[in-house]
Amino acid sequence: DVSHGPILYLEDISVSFDGFRALNQLSLAIDDGELRCIIGPNGAGKTTMMDVITGKTRPDRGSCFFGQTIDLTRLSEPEIAHAGIGRKFQKPTVFEPLSVFENLELAMKTDKRVAAALRARLGSAELDRIAATLERIGLQGSADRPAGLLSHGQKQWLEIGMLLMQEPRLLLLDEPVAGMTDAETAKSAELFASLKGDYSLVVVEHDMDFVAALGGKVTVLHEGSVLAEGPLASVQADPRVIEVYLGR
Ligand code: ADP
């Protein structure tokens, strides 16, 4: 299988804002090739956790490793992106006047190796990469459309394609199906299933039906640390989890 130990390892991470503990000794390991969902009520620390992984927020204490050797707490946000961690926020941020093809082409240019190669010209290898990504995100029929004309779901898939053009190993996705139609959500589940294995994914998600469709292990955050972890059905049956959700 694809598992070779953790791709992401957080240990004892704490973050405070003006004395408020947003993350409280959070420890978490994501296996290589795993798809992990992060759930938890508002304010649980999910966004702060993503901010720590991507270098946007520095932890007050604790360690955060990517693979065996890359200490993320010592890298800047751009360095972390180049190391192979792509992040997508909840709202789509595509270049709307540009075509789908041009959006993917532009994103590919942020891959350092490609940027160097492209100083000469766009070769057939790069065209192949764009074609493969178009197919993967289901937009092969829309390559020449302005991205601003895509549906909300298609924009979200395009943005995931833009992350893929940067050859990440780990994808962090914040509520990727928020605002999608049921059909788009179902297509997203298929897309994510196809990404799993080739990439590692951490998906922050409130839509429990979608979490169930994704399968795999679920981590429940609460008050900045892990409350429960395991298959969705077992964490949903956990009295501490029920308490947290009903006690809101
Ligand atoms: P979630 O994404 O699970 O809803 P967050 O990580 O956004 O949770 O927030 C965790 C807690 O930290 C919340 O109580 C929030 O108000 C607080 N918080 C997050 N970012 C900041 C900040 N920059 N300054 C002050 N408080 C913050």
Cβ burial of 160 (10 Å; 0-12, 13-18, 19+) is buried
Task: Give yes or no for residue 40 CB within 6 A of ligand 1.
Answer: yes
**Residues 37-83 pLDDT 10s:** 999 999 999 999 999 999 999 999 999 999 989 999 999 888 898 88
**If you ran DSSP here, which 8-state letter would residue 141 be given?**
G
CA distance 92 to 161: 12
Helices (H) and strands (E) in the chain, counts: 10, 10
Residue 121 CA, chain-centre distance (Å), reads 31
AA letter at 22: A
Q: How far apart are CA 20 and CA 180, in angstroms?
A: 34
Encoding tokens for residue 178? Answer: 């928020």
pLDDT at 144: 79
**Region of residue 158 (phi > 0: left; psi between -120 and 50: alpha; otherwise: beta):** alpha
Ligand 1 atom nearest residue 45's Cα: 6
Residue given tokens 């360095």 in the structure block: 79
Which atom number of ligand 1 is nearest to the Cα of residue 51? Answer: 6
What's the confidence (pLDDT) of residue 1? 46
Contact 36, 201 (CB under 8 A): yes
- What single-letter DSSP state applies at residue 212? H
Residue 166 pLDDT > 50: yes
Instruction: Determine the atom of ligand 1 nearest the C-alpha atom of 15.
Output: 12
Tell me how far apart the alpha carbons of residues 47 and 21 are, in angstroms, rounded to a whole number.
13
For residue 64, count other CB atoms closer than 10 A to its CB: 25
CA nearest neighbour of 169 among 202, 204, 215: 202
ipTM summary value: 0.91
The pair of structure tokens assigned to 211 is: 């979490």
Task: Kindly state the percentage of the chain with pLDDT values over 70.
Answer: 93
Distance CA 57, CA 55 (A): 5
Give the phi and the psi of residue 183 in degrees, each rounded to 5.
Answer: -65, -40
CA of 134 to the centre of ligand 1 (A): 35
Mutate to test the pocket of ligand 1, among 10, 42, 47 (most ligand atoms within 8 A of CB): 47
Q: Which atom of ligand 1 is nearest to the CA of 224?
A: 10
What pLDDT sits at residue 177? 95
Question: Are the C-beta atoms of 224 and 49 separated by less than 8 Å?
Answer: no
Helices (H), 84-146: 100-108, 112-118, 124-136
Q: Is the pLDDT of residue 94 over 70?
A: yes
For the chain, list the domains and their CATH numbers: 1-84+169-248 (3.40.50.300), 95-167 (no CATH)
**Ligand 1 close to Cβ of residue 28 (< 6 A):** no
**Amino acid letter at 183?**
A
CA-closest residue to ligand 1 atom 23 = 17
Task: Indicate if the pLDDT at residue 21 is higher than 60.
Answer: yes
pTM, full prediction:
0.69
